[in-house]
Amino acid sequence: MTALLTDTDGAGPVPGPDVTPVVLPLTAAQSGMWFAQSLDPLSPAHNTAECLEIDGPLDPELFAAALRRVTAEADALRVTFEDSPDGPRQRVLPSVGLPLTTHDLRDAPDAGRRAEEWMRADLAEPFGLTAGPLFRHALFRVGEKRWLWYQRIHHLVMDGFGYSLLVRRAAEVYTALTRGEEPGSRAFGTLADLVAEDSAYRSSDAFAADRAHWTEAFADRPAVPRLAGRGALPSRTFLRRTAHLGPEATEAVRDLAARLRATWPDVLIAAQALYTSRATGHQEVVLGLPMTGRMGSVSLRVPGMVMNVLPLRLDVAPDATFAELVRQVVLGVREVRRHQRYRYEDIRRDLRLLRENRGLAGPLVNVMPYDHDLDFAGSPARARNLSAGQVDDLTVNVYDRADGRGLRIDHDGNPALYDDGELAAHQERFLYLVERLGRADPHVPTAAHGIATAAELELIAGTFNDTGRTLPPTTLIGPIESRAARTPDATALVYGETSLTYEELNTRANRLARHLRTLGARPGAVVGVSVPRSVELVVSLLAVLKAGAAYLPLDPDHPEQRLAYMLRDAAPVCAVTDRAGRLPEDTGTPLVVLDGLDVSEYLWVNPSRPLTPAHPAYVIYTSGSAGRPKGVVVSHGAIDNRLRWMQGAYGLTADDRVLQKTPSSFDVSVWEFFWPLRQGAVLVVAEPGAHEDPACLVRLIREQGVTTCHFVPSMLQVLLAEADAEACGSLRRVFSSGEALPRETADAFGRGLPGVELHHLYGPTEAAVDVTFHTCAADAAGPVPIGRPVWNTRLYVLDAALQPCPPGIPGELHLAGRQLADGYLNCPGPTASRFVADPFGRPAERMYRTGDLARWTAEGEVVHLGRADDRVKLPGQRIEPGETETAQTTRGGVDAACALGRRTRAKGGPFDPGPEGRATHLVLENAIGRLSLWPVWREVPEGWSVRFGPAPHEVCAATLEPGR
């Protein structure tokens, strides 16, 4: 049964006889909310609601009478709003009808759920600001002595503190009426008094002092870390996850707070700061703190909308203790309270954040300690919040009802940023973190605390990284020699019109290897190879490996200065070249010139060598952050693991033909050269320069029946757009690595080459080529993952404290396992800084810090998110802006340089390069000397000054533009 207990139909105000409504301006707290609601009048986002569970006898008629009395006493419940030439105004009516319905659900199955559904449906209904009333009540009888009192009020007229005043007064009035007594006189102040107090503050010295405080505290306009990694406009509704911190854990939090001379809300705020820092990768976080804003005697007695949200800025350093973080919160909250009346919207306006649509705070921590421990004539009541109003991002609502059940914690999320699963994950991790903090020593560094739950840690370690595989202790060259012995007459290599069998290739390499041994080539030594792509290049690489040495590729197209540096740094025992003059002659390196070299007198059989999997197989140089290239040393065991995994995953056979087109100075070339020769397939070698000509590559693939090849994503995109990719009918599988693979390119591949597998691989030079793999599916969406770890390889996505990040949380990608490089040649410092101890592995095991940002998916794949530093990648090649800047400053007349990686499109790119000879960017400098490029057409941001401008300088910055 449902009954209406209203003075009217509840649809509007009831004017009193000959009484003129009071018209008031809006307070500062109301103004922003008024404009937000005006932009979307049908949105229920600003509805607030609460449900009180009342256990015991209750008289519905007296309860309604008590609510009428409270409504008559609380001006804010009797207002409507209107726009006027002077701005929005609120009209305080002398009386309104009581919008109360009662529902008797005693005989209904699952009465509590039925009542909850009704409340949720009502909460989704918007209020009419001009019609009113802006509140509604419902009373549900769900048992003989159990009641649910529901009240919904628009946030424009009521905040959480106001709710507590209304509820306590309602209980007081009802109790008096039940006893036949007259309730005490009106306890509330008037809304006019509240408006006057707000107006007085905004014209006072206190207002000016508060403004100065916030302007100075946030003058640098700090970035706001968000758990979703992005912002969004508020939605009309919100998602909610409710959980409880158990009594034991709650008591531990209280005890911890007492030991740290803080309050339990301070501890929870510090825990949320720690969680936000780890989940976003930002050491500095800015939390939002709802504050009552009630510092005057008037506002403490007036139910209304006064509350404010203010930013709390915290530095969450991993080496600082949790006790120090709590102390930082205590002092920070104390400072916020002193200046809590200055509005959040005013701070954003002062900092010029409104026009940029930038927020001032990340997650909100809303502690609601209002005492609802009350009763209605002896029937105890317990409050439960249903909505705290609009949710911009994520709000953590914490309630302490002192009922022995611990703390109730609601996570409210904007559905434009979070789904149910993501919200639940954040809540579970937060509670797990709070429980551990309550048990832990607060005087140890916060680096000891990760945010992943025990189940997530087991998932990452036990499932995602379950890659162990027992393999024989072989070298890179051993299986090639075995293959040559088993299939000597099979075709091993094709280059133009030249074709070699496995026996012919093996014989030529053996004889050259024996010659190299006379020059010092042996296990542990390095031999340079500077030969253009050809039969001779393949023979030379095999010869070096057969001699037991590690090969050092010296790309003939590289600048002479770089080649000379690598020769001096690596100090190879000799270097193989195709002709005289190919390499600098002033390095002291003995040269083996193939042109005219006769090795026919050497034995043709495989040379013996004391080679083990631990010996170096190759050394490939990459750029350094300070302008110094570094040689990466990769062992036989590492590359052997890589090739055995590749064979296990993709099953190359003697019927396959693999295209070798990648320059030997790139590590992708390693599997192109040696994988087919280990499996009895045919190695098809492209001519020099062919890797830059899509049409030439398509022709070669078609003529040679190539089944397997590799493209960097940018070249693959060009191939699909400009070349006759459909003519590549022999292809079975294509590998793509070296750059992020755009989803659009993967989709275009599926359309252009249906039936051909596309595999996306990832790996830095500091590991044996690739360490992850992902097979692209035609119906997939979103960013293309870099995939799962290969055999005997572990991936760690770690936060700043080197704690594992749970799925969905970004962190820096670290690599561990068998494929890790030995380190940088002759660079102990950089080796020690990048190859660090593996805290999750066996003693003495290492892991490599890639500098790449990534996150796990729930399915156990890794998604690449960019760089943690400013490294730039041009088609497959790493470029360090620091190296470019260092090189520029060595030139005469250059005082300082700033390099920027800028992506352009071939046609109609997003950046206007400007007229020829005219600079398009300024070089800006901030107070700490950091330089940054800034477009000339944009206003120079606050805190930066122009170091170099377009005039009178002809060039003010160097840009790295892929594809040019």
- Predicted confidence (pLDDT) per residue in 86-103, tens digit: 999 999 999 999 999 999
The pairing of strands 823-824 and 862-867 is unpaired
Residue 18 in this model has a pLDDT that exceeds 80: no
| Tokens found for residue 842 | 């066996």
| Residue-averaged pLDDT of the chain | 89
Q: What pLDDT score was predicted for residue 8?
A: 41
Q: If we measure between CA atoms, which residue out of 121, 116, 135 comes closest to residue 53?
A: 116
Could you list the beta-strand ranges (E) of 730-810: 733-736, 757-762, 772-775, 788-789, 793-798
Q: What percent of the chain has pLDDT over 70?
A: 87
Distances (CA, A) of 387 to 151, 165, 416: 11, 17, 17
pLDDT in tens, 309-363: 999 999 999 999 999 999 999 999 999 999 999 999 999 999 999 878 788 999 9
pLDDT interval class at 941 (50, 70, 90): low
Tell which of 176, 194, 212 closes a domain. 194
Instruction: Report the half-sphere exposure of 525 (CA within 13 A, side-chain side).
Output: 22
Residue in this structure with the two tokens 């071939």, named with its chain if needed: 906
pLDDT at 962: 33
Strands 498-501 and 526-530: unpaired
In this prediction the pTM is: 0.85
Give the pLDDT confidence of 112-169 residue by residue, as tens digits.
999 999 999 999 999 999 999 999 999 999 999 999 999 999 999 999 999 999 999 9
Minimal CA–CA distance to 863: which of 962, 762, 790, 793?
762
Q: What is the CATH number of the domain that holds 533?
A: 3.40.50.980
User: Would you say residue 942 lies in a domain?
Assistant: yes
- The dihedral through the CA atoms of 538, 544, 548, 552 has a sign that is negative
Angle at 600 between CA 486 and CA 522, to 5 degrees: 70
State the pLDDT at residue 313. Answer: 97
pLDDT above 90 (res 823): yes
pLDDT of residue 359: 87
Q: Is residue 555 in some structural domain?
A: yes
The answer to whether residues 516 and 527 touch, using CB atoms and an 8 Å cutoff, is: yes
CATH number for the domain that contains residue 176:
3.30.559.10
Among 88-102, 467-481, 859-873, which stretch is predicted with the lowest mean pLDDT?
Answer: 859-873
Domain end among 593, 611, 629: 611
The span from the CA of 199 to the CA of 326, in Å, is: 35
71 domain-assigned: yes
The better pLDDT of the pair 747, 919 is held by: 747
Q: Give the residue numbers spanning the domain of 897.
A: 880-960
Can you give the pLDDT at residue 116? 96
Q: Identify the bridge partners of residue 408 per DSSP, sorted by sequence position.
A: 244, 399
List, as own/partner pairs, every contact residues 127-131 make where C-beta atoms lie below 8 angstroms and the sequence separation is at least 24, other chains included. Answer: 127/44, 127/47, 127/154, 128/41, 129/34, 129/37, 129/41, 129/80, 129/81, 129/154, 129/156, 130/80, 130/81, 130/82, 131/11, 131/12, 131/80
Domain end (from 579, 611, 643): 611
Torsion-angle region of 485 (φ positive above 0: left; ψ -120 to 50: alpha; else: beta): alpha
Q: What angle do CA 21, 27, 28 make, to 5 degrees?
A: 160
At 820, list the tokens: 């890790």
At 939, is the pLDDT very low, low, confident or very high (cuts 50, 70, 90)? low
How far apart are alpha carbons 605 and 510 in whole angstroms? 6
- Asked if residue 946 is part of any domain, the answer here is yes
Is residue 32 very low, low, confident or very high in pLDDT (cuts 50, 70, 90)? confident
723-733: per-residue pLDDT in tens?
A: 788 889 999 99
Residue percentage of the chain with pLDDT more than 90 = 80
Read off the amino acid at residue 484. Answer: A
DSSP state string for 846-876: EEEEEEEEEEE-TTS-EEEEEESS--EEETT
Pairwise CA distance, residues 626 & 616, whole Å: 26
402 pLDDT above the threshold of 80: no
Q: Which residue has the higher pLDDT, 748 or 936?
A: 748
How high is the pLDDT of residue 952? Answer: 33
- pLDDT, residue 297, reads 85
pLDDT at 67: 98
Residue 318 lies in a domain: no
Tokens at 733, concatenated: 């599988």
What is the band of 961 on the pLDDT scale with cuts at 50, 70, 90? very low
Q: Are strands 574-577 and 958-960 parallel, antiparallel or unpaired?
A: unpaired
Res 896: pLDDT? 55
Tell me what the mean pLDDT of segment 806-820 comes to.
97
Q: Read off the pLDDT of residues 548-565 as tens digits, 9 standing for 90 and up.
A: 999 999 999 999 999 999
Res. 887: pLDDT tops 60: no
Question: Is the pLDDT score of 875 beyond 80?
Answer: no
Tell me whether residue 384 is in a domain: no
Q: Output the pLDDT for position 355.
A: 79
Degrees (nearest 5) of the Cα angle 716, 904, 356?
A: 130
Q: Is the pLDDT of residue 958 over 50?
A: no
Query: What are 774-799's pLDDT values in tens digits?
Result: 999 988 999 999 999 999 999 999 99
Q: Looking at residue 721, what is its pLDDT? A: 86
Asked whether the beta carbons of 38 and 31 are under 8 A apart, the reply is no
- Residue 891, domain CATH: 3.90.820
Which residue type occupies 348?
A: R
pLDDT attached to residue 572: 98
Domains held by the chain: number: 3
Residue 813 belongs to a domain: no
Q: Do the domain assignments include residue 701?
A: no
